[in-house]
A and B are shown apart, each in its own frame.
Chain A
Amino acid sequence: MSKRVALEASHAVAEAVKMADVDVISAYPITPQTHIPERLAEMVANGELKASYIPVESEHSALSACLGASSVGARAFTTTAGQGLELMHEVVYVASSMRYPVVMVICNRALSAPISVWGDHSDVMACRDTGWIQVFCENNQEAFDLTLWAFRVGEDSRVLFPVMVNLDGFTLSHVIEPVFLPEQSEVDRFLPKFNYPFALDPDRPMTHGALGLPDLYSEAKVAQEVAFRKSTGIILQGWKEFGDIFGRYYCPVESYKAEGAKTLLLTMGSYSETAKVTVDERQAKGDSLGLLRLRLWRPFPFEELRQAVKGVETVIVFDRCISFGMGGPVFSEVKSALYGEEPRPKIVGIVGGLGGRDMSAEDFGYVIDRGKEIAEKGSDRILEVVGVRGEMVSIRGQ
């Protein structure tokens, strides 16, 4: 029997890591992620969790130590945010390319400058191409569930890829909500022991991380891409098994009241819940509107997204990041994924919630209205940003 307790999302993550019986935690504190390593350090200090906690001197070392732990078959966890993720960026690629299934929770934070400790998705958008399985959480229950699920999927011998679990800094990481905590026996049924097939062992010497000359590098990268795309099957299977045991079923693209809707708002992360309030209000007034939420960001859920927008006239993509010189990264990827669709919906991108700027239900109302307007008439702005002060230069005709 699971019990229902009030937990901060960060502490829900720590509970999941504890129930996963992780072997090594290696983390460097950074706002807004601090509550996760603090709680885990406390659990280790109390003897609640038997694990090595490595208080490293930087995020670069945090993930490097996880690679070391993973290489000998230990279950490894790290967590970071914002600048911390950028500092470890180099190691992020190595983790996936060497197939070490580390689990990392990111409390999404804006990037400097100006320095900001508050939330947006700029940090993780710089990691789009790193070859990690990436998911976005909406609430505390999902923070718990997806952290647990991340170990199950990443460590599957048919996958062996690291997993990033994204939760919005402050607006999710620091929020207290009721969370169902399962029994340890249920968790043990869902999550088998980590049995790394390539663990470094003096009894069977193995070389990890060799030099790839031009005659082999391409083959190595293609093998990685093939394996990464194949992991989608195990991702889905993992969610099915999770649902069968815990009663909560997840999918790559969540549709909210989207059936038959002419316009869909597409979001990621915790602001989706706020946007859903707006969808409810608008639907009550007779608006043909629904919501899509991308839970799985990598591997990109092409098929599920295409299915979800069948028959839709307009998709309004809400981004919490600017790809400078390009626009919203989710917008451009969604647009690219749907380009070949016949018929193809109109796709509009609007940015908001940068550096912790609040997005209210009214703001999402603006996103919807403005999005529809742009879909009909086009926009004369370089970039659509909700509630921004100052001039947005026209680039018409450029």
Chain B
Amino acid sequence: MADREFVKFGQNIVTTQELLAQGHNFCTGCGEALAIRLACKAVGENMIMNMATGCDEVCTTPLPVTSWRIPWMHTLFENASATISGVEAGLKSLMAKGKMPERDIKCVAVGGDGGTSDIGLQALSGALERGHDFLYLCWDNEAYMNTGIQRSSSTPYGASTTTAPAGKVSIGQTSWKKNMVEICAAHNIPYTATACPSYYLDLMKKVKKGAEVKGPAYIHILSPCPTGWRYPSNMTVEIGRLAVQTGIFPLYEVENGRYRLNADPPELKPVREYLKLQGRYRHLTDGEIERIQQRVSEEYTRLKEKAACFPA
């Protein structure tokens, strides 16, 4: 029934055109695949995408086949932002010199949390600072999933990964998640936002906005990963929703320096509801969960205070 309703009404908002073709090799229930599919729908076919090495690249292009119905390229792990800088500059130069007809081609660079917040951070910072007209999308599944669930700087405190495993004397990840949105916003770019495929209309609206905006835009997309987070693959959307509803991953945007919360539930759910569903947090004691709760509440309050500075 719901499906039929969607076909009737949904197609006015969401195109049925699939730019990421079926038949790719993503795991069942992959939040990243869902995010990519939605993001492509939002940007449309008039784009060139550069993808950092990662699950997404490996799962979509095993020679001699490809899942891409858009012009797509991958060169390396840490250089998606630098490569898209060249794509953007190349198109601009060719059009300015009359070697190519003038048209609006969206330049989109994408990568996982490793390719974005760790090894690719320098190239990203450079491209943001130089002000290239491009959209960067980070699919954050909170660890190096492609190589087998190793920790990244985006792995949350307390999560167990293969290079920061929980053990007798360790709770797993001992550092707090790097805040990429703040780092990107600090470059004073026109548009920065968070999104999650569980809130698909919000995600698509933001991706569209990021693609339309003149200059760099950065969107940090929480992409639940059943394989790495260890939860049943039919719960991806539910897990993403809980990340937002507990305040662990608030949906907000920073537009020309103005903060705006996009989903602000009257009361946040306890983080325990989110943590208890995932194997990566199974070892956490009540004390540790309380510690995470405190940190999440503090950060959420701080974010609300920022948003309050900019009344709608």
How distant is the Cα of A26 from the Cα of B74 in the complex, in angstroms? 19
Q: How far is the CA of A90 from the CA of B90 in the complex (A)?
A: 22
Report chain B residues within 8 Å CB of A56. Answer: 82, 85, 126, 130
Among residues 38 to 65 in chain A, which have CB atoms less than 8 Å away from a CB atom of chain B? 50-52, 54-58, 60-62, 64-65
Q: CB-nearest residue of chain B relative to A23?
A: B93
Q: What residues of chain A lie closer than 8 Å to B86, measured between beta carbons?
A: 24, 26, 54, 64-71, 74, 76
Among candidates A24, A61, A74, A216, residue contacting B123 with C-beta atoms closer than 8 Å: A61
Known: A61-B79, A65-B85, A220-B63. A72 touches B91 (CB 8 A): yes
Bound Cα distance A212, B50 (Å): 18
Q: Chain B residues near A206 (CB, 8 Å)?
A: 71-72
Chain B residues contacting A209 (CB-CB under 8 Å) are 61, 73-75
Size category of the binding interface on chain A = 35 or more
Task: Tell which of B68, B75, B97, B123 touches A94, judged by Cβ atoms closer than 8 Å.
Answer: B75
Give min CB distance, B137 to chain A, whole Å.
Answer: 17
Residues of A within 8 A of B130 (CB): 54-56
Contact assessment for A210 and B82 in the assembled complex, using a CB-CB cutoff below 8 Å: no
Q: In chain B, what residue has the closest Cβ to A22?
A: B93
Contacts of B88 in A (CB 8 A): 68
Assess the A74–B105 pair: CB atoms within 8 A.
no
- Alpha-carbon gap, A202 to B70, bound state (A): 6
What separation, in Å, do the CA atoms of A67 and B91 have in the docked complex? 13
**What residues of chain A lie closer than 8 Å to B46, measured between beta carbons?**
202
Q: Within 8 Å of chain B (Cβ to Cβ): is A91?
A: yes
Q: Which residues of A contact B71 (CB under 8 A)?
A: 200-202, 204-206
Q: Are A200 and B123 in contact (CB under 8 A)?
A: no
Closest Cβ of chain B to A308, distance in Å, is 39
Interface: A98 (CB within 8 A): yes
Interchain CA distance A71-B94 in the complex, whole Å = 12
Q: Does A221 reach chain B (CB closer than 8 Å)? A: no
CB interface residues, B 91-110, toward A, < 8 Å: 91-94, 96-97, 99-100, 105
Q: Which of A162-210 contact B (CB under 8 A)?
A: 193, 200-202, 204-210
A28 and chain B: residue at smallest CB distance: B126
A69 touches which of B90, B97, B126 (Cβ 8 Å) = B90
Q: Given A61-B126, A64-B75, A90-B76, verify A207-B61 contact (CB < 8 Å).
A: yes
Judge whether A1 is part of the interface by a CB distance below 8 angstroms.
no
- Which B residues lie within 8 Å of A67 (CB)? 75, 83, 86
Task: Verify if B64 is at the interface (C-beta below 8 Å from A).
Answer: yes
Interface flag for B233 (CB, 8 Å): no
Alpha-carbon gap, A69 to B85, bound state (A) = 8
A211 adjacent to B57 (CB under 8 Å): yes
CB contacts (< 8 Å) of B81 on chain A: these are 61
B90 CB to closest chain A CB (Å) equals 3
Cβ contact within 8 Å between B83 and A65: yes
**Distance of B37 from chain A, by nearest CB (Å):** 16
A32 contacts partner chain B, Cβ-Cβ < 8 Å: no
Chain A residue with the shortest CB-CB distance to B70 = A205
Contact indicator A202/B48 (Cβ below 8 Å): yes
B-facing mask of A86-118, CB < 8 A → 1, else 0?
Answer: 000011001000100000000000000000000
Give the residues from 138 to 170 in chain B that come closer than 8 angstroms, CB to CB, to chain A.
none
**Bound-state Cα–Cα, A216 to B125, Å:** 36
- Residues in chain A near residue B10, CB distance under 8 A: none
A68 touches B97 (CB 8 A): no
Find out whether the CB atom of A52 lies under 8 angstroms from the CB atom of B90: yes
Residues of B close to A55: CB separation below 8 A: 130
Judge whether B232 is part of the interface by a CB distance below 8 angstroms.
Answer: no
B176 nearest CB across to chain A (Å)? 27
Binding site for A on B (CB under 8 A): 45-48, 50, 57-58, 61-64, 66, 68-76, 78-79, 81-94, 96-97, 99-100, 105, 122-123, 125-126, 129-130
A-B contact pairs, 12 of them (CB 8 A): A26-B85, A26-B89, A50-B96, A56-B130, A57-B122, A61-B122, A71-B83, A72-B91, A202-B105, A205-B69, A206-B71, A209-B73
Interface residues of A (CB under 8 A from B): 21, 23-24, 26, 50-52, 54-58, 60-62, 64-74, 76, 90-91, 94, 98, 193, 200-202, 204-213, 216, 220
12 extra A-B contacts, CB within 8 A, seeds A60-B123, A64-B76, A68-B85: A23-B97, A52-B92, A58-B123, A60-B82, A61-B82, A64-B83, A68-B82, A201-B71, A205-B45, A209-B61, A210-B74, A220-B63
For the complex of A and B, 5 pairs with smallest distance between CB atoms: A68-B86, A74-B90, A65-B86, A57-B126, A61-B82
